[in-house]
Copies of this chain bind each other. A is one copy, B any other.
Amino acid sequence: MLPTIAREGDIVVMIDQRKLPAQEIYVRCKTAAEVARAIKTMVIRGAPAIGVAAAMGIAIGMRNSKATGTQKFAAEFHKICELMAATRPTAVNLFWAIERMKRVFADAAQAGASVDQIKDRLDAEAQAIHDEDLASCRAMGAFGADIVPVDARVLTHCNAGALATAGYGTALGVIRGAVEKGKKVAVFADETRPFLQGARLTAWELVRDGIDTTIITDNMTGALMRLGKIDLVVVGADRIAANGDTANKIGTYGVAVLAREHNVPFYVAAPLSTVDLNTPDGEQIPIEERSAREVTHVGASQLAPVGARVWNPAFDVTPHHLIAGIITERGIFRPPYIESLRRAFEKETVASR
């Protein structure tokens, strides 16, 4: 299993995803601020992994606290939560994880727990978020495997793999699930400019697993589909609105349009923590814009002249009508999503009572 993120005592260890595949370097974060910076600078990325990292960052931040009274401790807690929330705006898993930590804190404080007891509860919750994410990915893999043809050529965009989660992956979890069920899968990975998550991360983790992987540049998707060489598209998600509109890595929308043009089923794989019923549709999802330098330079190479503007949105929104199904840890949801997703949460509420 890939070591995307792990606790070592009071340290959060992450593989530096900016350096892969050329170098395998681990970043050791000793403070909440270091974790927040790692999220912001994309040492770690991928919606579920960001949620796990934020929770672990809060946990070690509070573990480091020297506060003895619950009031000062609570003030520090809320400051750290704000720090985490300011890292990246689009992936809702970040806010979902922070909310879980806040609820645990509030429940413990209300029950009269001591500072040390609250620290233990926060540690346990962060670990639970990690472990549940891993279990969710495996469940997604098992459900999603069914929609993968026996001998399939599957296109994916960005990295929705082990590196984007606590492990196993969402979209790549579906591919791993299909392979585990004995299906033959050839993966086509969009390189996914500008951060190159497809070429650098998806290809790296699939090659490690011995899965047949071909890298293409993002602009080759159309030609590949037109040649009839893609049977299925599976991607991850950073936020799914109540109506099924899905924010995911920039370029996902174009892939979805091309998939429909060529009658290729387009699926999203994501844990229910990615679904945000408070966001009615894709229009309401905030889209992070990142620095021009991500586009104008690769390593030391200057790709663009001085004087040209750059537009660098990190995500786009795929409207629900282009999505054949949303693969979650609780099964595959189908249109109309406005109903199927709402029912998913109603069931969850009932189940947890």
Contact = CB atoms under 8 A, between A and B. Distances in A.
Query: Helix, strand, loop or mixed for chain A's interface?
Result: mixed
Stoichiometry (number of copies):
2
A200 interface: yes
A114 interface: no
A303 B308 contact: no
Interface string A6-24: 0000000000000011100
Interface residues of A, number: 59
A69 interface: no
A272 B154 CA distance: 40
A306 B193 CA distance: 19
Interface in A298-321: 298-313, 316-317
Contacts of A303: 191, 196, 199-200, 298
B316 A226 contact: yes
A193 B198 CA distance: 14
A2 B226 CA distance: 37
Contacts of A316: 220, 222-223, 226
A144 interface: no
14 contacts: A22-B302, A193-B217, A203-B305, A214-B308, A215-B296, A215-B304, A219-B219, A220-B311, A222-B254, A223-B253, A223-B313, A254-B254, A298-B303, A300-B301
